[in-house]
Chains A and B, each alone.
Chain A
Amino acid sequence: MSQVFHRSTNTIARLSIYGALFLIAGGVYVLYVFAGSPYVTDANEAKDQPVPFSHRHHAAELGIDCRYCHTSVESSSDAGMPATRTCMTCHSQIWVGSPMLEPVRSSYREDKSLQWSRVNAVPDFVYFNHSIHIAKGVGCTTCHGPMGEMPLTWRANSLLMGWCLDCHRSPEDYVRPRDQVFNVNYQPPSNQHDMGRILVRDYKIKSLTNCTTCHR
């Protein structure tokens, strides 16, 4: 009788059997990588803002303390976003004519809030508290990245749960002395791990990994 299939189909059939396995395994892995990729997490992507505010200029070059603008970072869950008046404390004196700052001035004139695009965000079911992290010696740049080098602000980390857990599981690899918390140019020392151990003890840092620490 006539052959329905060409001989090569045998090989194809055989290949397809093994191929399937790799395809599935590979697919899962691709998804995993995708979920953590900047495309999903928006990491390393500078959002355009009403005013191209430069942390490098203000925090690093001028050396303005983080807390000058983010006033409630030591006392509250929210770090606090500077009110227009805070900007105007300086910019009513300097760069008064700069067109770049017009949105700020008009906001102040018309008593209408500036609308910044949020860069670092966690989902609504995550309850993050700035004040306790500051109090326990977690530096700003540990999560927010090298703010001293950011002409425009971008999210430096994925802010995914796994990323949080890295530090919550082994804080000693990340904490720094309290006096260095607001240092935007801070570089962890070579003996971070040993120093971290000591700080964890001194600051009574607990490795909190139970769910209601963040989810309520």
Chain B
Amino acid sequence: MASAQNPPVIGPGHTYASVTDKISSIVLTRKTPRGWIFGFAIAFSLFMLFNYAVTYLLVRGVGIWGINIPVGWGFAIVNFVWWIGIGHAGTLISAILLLLKQTWRTSINRFAEAMTIFAVACAGMFPLLHMGRPWLFYWLLPYPNTMYLWPQFRSPLVWDVFAVSTYATVSLLFWFVGLIPDLATLRDRAVNRPAKVIYGFLAMGWRGSAVHWSRFETASLLLAGLATPLVVSVHTVVSFDFAAAIVPGWHTTIFPPYFVAGAIYSGFAMVLTLAIPMRKFYGLDDFITMRHLDNMAKVMLATGLIVAYGYVMEAFGSFYSGNIFEKYMTLNRWKGPYAFFYWLLITCNIVIPQSLWFTRVRKNVGALFTLSLVVNVGMWLERFIIVVTSLHRDFLPSSWRIYIPTRWDWATYVGTIGLFLTLFFLFIRFLPAISIFEMRTLVPMSQEEGKST
């Protein structure tokens, strides 16, 4: 009965063995499915495009991009914020939901965390690449040097370095620690020796003893505790990159909460974008059930509304302030050269997602998938609007200019998507995309289902 209102988090009739089989087989099965090869080929060629674009960038300098004075930041920073945002869902699911004991998270947290790490990897590229002299990036780190110089700690960019690197480290640890028991499983189930050795090496001698398990629990709880503030802190710091400046359109106090909400919004959108095809392709409907999709849709709806509130407050604030520069900035977003993208962003991030109020939409996998794509686009546009429209017409009209991305901007952006997908394909091929041992904890529930049906 309970299940009626509350659809299951795992399909009926599963045993420990069946769960382990189903998931580990994805990895250990001999021949690589054709679909995987096809998808990987596309992803990898995009990744190669990225390498080409970056090489050319290092040879010629950032001048190959469309940036200019006044628009000193273009796609690079837009993409950076976008990717970092996407990362957030993973950490939220694995850390916060773990602390909140949300059992439904178990089947999606593994690849959500993977997504986080890959997204952060992509994001991390841009702050380096957008520098005029990237080979001097280490000057942003506090290290002993013969110049007696430190980085300038007042600068949000320095805060960024710490925020993002911490985030990357903790996420990686969390993900890896979570993997250890499953790596051990794979080690034990692997048939050929190389696989045994590699998985064994990664499993770090996990033997599943009671001591191991208790330590494992402590470790993951500690890491969850560490990761939880990061969900909030990272994007808050990223938002400081803008909020700390005096540029109209950047200089607002609502940025931190509104960025974090936006991050989770886009993150969950990306989780859906990845989960829906994967579950279809590998027939994981039993593990990633409608319950999961439904919950994630709800989270998106909630965060989406916070973001919408952010937009409204931004506009209201600019007029309420009576500040001529703020006012003009808002009007320019509405009517200026980039107005089309502004309204497109409103449509993608506010108008369309309202359909999530309807159960029918939330239950419709196809609809959810398209919607997740729409939100991804919308959130990218949001960052574009914030970065570009604020800069291109700021204080002195004599310096107003238009920013137009070049083919190299696009190549770098699409390239990182390639990098992201490449890593993700490798991940689902060589690591268990769903946490085996955690799923096994759900088996009793599954057998409940079996009886009740």
Residue B204 at the A interface, CB < 8 A?
yes
Is B148 among interface residues, defined by CB-CB distance under 8 A? yes
Report Cα–Cα, A163/B205, bound state, in Å.
Answer: 51
Asked if B148 and A162 make an inter-chain contact with CB atoms under 8 angstroms apart, the answer reads: yes
Considering the chains assembled together, what is the distance between the CA atoms of A161 and B149 in angstroms? Answer: 9
CB distance A4 to B200 under 8 Å?
yes
Q: Are B187 and A160 in contact (CB under 8 A)?
A: no
Shortest B148–chain A CB gap in Å is 4
Give the residues in chain B near A28, CB-CB below 8 Å.
143-144
Chain A, residue nearest B196 (CB):
A4
B197 interface contact, C-beta 8 A: yes
- Between B146, B149, B196, the greatest number of chain A beta carbons within 10 A of the residue's beta carbon is seen for B146
In the assembled complex, the Cα of A13 lies from the Cα of B202 at a distance in Å of 10
For A158, list chain B residues within 8 Å (CB): 146
Q: Tell me the B184-232 residues at the A interface (CB within 8 Å).
A: 187-188, 193, 196-197, 200-201, 204-205
User: Which residues does chain B contribute within 8 Å of A9, judged by CB atoms?
Assistant: 205
Query: Is the CB of B312 closer than 8 A to any CB of chain A?
Result: no
| Chain A residue nearest in CB terms to B189 | A1
Bound state CA distance, A158 and B148, in angstroms?
14
Q: How far is the CB of B151 from chain A (nearest CB, A)?
A: 15
Beta-carbon contact of B147 and A162 below 8 Å: yes
Contacting pair A32 B197 (CB below 8 A)? no
Establish whether residues A10 and B205, one from each chain, have CB atoms under 8 Å apart when the complex forms.
Answer: yes
A161 and B148 within 8 A (CB): yes
- Across the interface, B145 reaches (CB within 8 A) one of A4, A10, A32, A163, namely A32
Contact across chains for A5 and B146 when beta carbons are under 8 A apart: no
Which of under 10, 10 to 19, 20 to 34, or 35 or more describes the interface residues of B?
10 to 19
Q: Does A35 contact B (CB under 8 A)?
A: yes
Q: Which residue in chain A gives the minimum CB-CB distance to B143? A: A28
A5 and B205: CB pair below 8 A? yes
* Set of chain A residues within 8 Å of B149, measured between Cβ atoms: 161
Instruction: Point out the residues of chain B lying under 8 angstroms from A165, CB to CB.
Output: 148
CA distance A6 to B443 in the complex (A): 34
Q: Please, which residue of chain B has its CB at the minimum distance from the CB of A32?
A: B144
A-B contact count (CB 8 A): 37
**A144-155: contact bitstring with B at CB < 8 Å (1 yes, 0 no)?**
000000000000
Q: Give which listed residue, A4, A13, A35, A161, contacts B187 with CB less than 8 A.
A: A4
Give the distance in Å from the alpha carbon of A162 to the alpha carbon of B148 in the complex: 5
Q: Are A161 and B147 in contact (CB under 8 A)?
A: yes
Enumerate B127-168 residues with CB–CB distance to A below 8 Å.
143-149
Closest to B201 in A: A5
Beta-carbon contact of A13 and B204 below 8 Å:
yes
A36 at the interface (CB under 8 A from B): yes
B200 near A5 with CB under 8 A, answer yes
Q: Chain A's nearest CB lies how many Å from the CB of B169?
A: 13
Contacts of A32 in B (CB 8 A): 143-146
Q: How far is the CB of B89 from chain A (nearest CB, A)?
A: 30
Whose C-beta in chain B lies nearest to the C-beta of A166? B148
A16 CB, min distance to chain B CBs, angstroms: 10
Q: Look across to chain B and name the residue whose beta carbon is closest to the beta carbon of A169.
A: B148
Q: Which of B412-436 contact A (CB under 8 A)?
A: none
* Complex alpha-carbon distance, A161 and B193, angstroms: 56
Point out the residues of chain A lying under 8 angstroms from B200, CB to CB: 4-5
Residues of A with C-beta under 8 A to B145? 32, 35, 162
Interface hits, B102-150 → A, CB 8 Å: 143-149
Chain A residues with CB under 8 Å of B148's CB are 161-162, 165
A28-B144, A32-B145, A158-B146 as given contacts; A13 in contact with B188, CB under 8 Å: no
CB of A144, distance to nearest CB on chain B (Å): 20
Residues A1 and B146 in contact in the complex (CB < 8 Å), given A13-B204, A13-B205: no
**Given the complex of chains A and B, what is the CA–CA distance between A10 and B200 in angstroms?**
11
A162 B146 Cβ-Cβ under 8 A: yes
Nearest CB of chain B from residue A208's CB, rounded to whole Å: 15
Closest B residue to A158 by CB, please name it. Answer: B146
Shortest beta-carbon distance from A145 to chain B in Å: 18
Instruction: Select the residue from B143, B145, B187 with max chain A CB neighbours within 10 A.
Output: B145
- Bound CA–CA A161/B147 (angstroms): 5
Name the residue on B nearest A41 (C-beta). B146
B146/A4 in contact, CB under 8 A: no
Give the complex CA separation of A163 and B204 in angstroms: 48
CB distance from A97 to the nearest CB of B (A): 47
The interface residues of chain A lying within 8 Å CB-to-CB of B143 are 28, 32
What separation, in Å, do the CA atoms of A29 and B241 have in the docked complex?
31
Chain A residues, Cβ within 8 Å of B147: 160-162
| B residues less than 8 Å from A1 (CB atoms) | 188
Chain A residues with CB under 8 Å of B197's CB are: 4-5
8 Å CB contacts to B: which residues of A8-64?
Answer: 9-10, 13, 28-29, 32, 35-36
CB distance from B183 to the nearest CB of A (A): 12
Note all chain B residues with C-beta closer than 8 A to A163.
Answer: 146
CA gap between A198 and B205 in the complex, in Å: 69
Query: Cβ of A160: which chain B residues have Cβ within 8 Å of it?
Result: 146-147
CB distance from A9 to the nearest CB of B (A): 7
Cα(A103)–Cα(B193), bound, Å: 74
CB-defined contacts of A161 to chain B, threshold 8 Å: 146-149
Closest to A2 in B: B196
Tell me which residues across on chain B come within 8 A of A35, comparing CB atoms: 145-146
Q: Whose C-beta in chain A lies nearest to the C-beta of B197?
A: A4
Measured CB to CB, the closest approach of chain B to A193, in angstroms, equals 21
Residue interface mask B59-93, A partner, CB < 8 A = 1: 00000000000000000000000000000000000
| CB-contacts of A139-185 with B (<8 A) | 158, 160-163, 165
- Can you give 22 contacting A-B residue pairs, CB < 8 Å? A1-B188, A4-B197, A4-B200, A5-B200, A9-B205, A10-B205, A13-B205, A28-B144, A29-B144, A32-B143, A32-B146, A35-B145, A35-B146, A36-B146, A160-B146, A160-B147, A161-B146, A161-B147, A161-B148, A162-B147, A163-B146, A165-B148
Closest 5 CB pairs between A and B? A4-B200, A161-B147, A160-B146, A162-B148, A32-B144
Q: A5-B201, A13-B205 are in contact. List 6 more A-B contacts (CB 8 A).
A: A4-B187, A28-B144, A32-B144, A35-B145, A158-B146, A162-B146
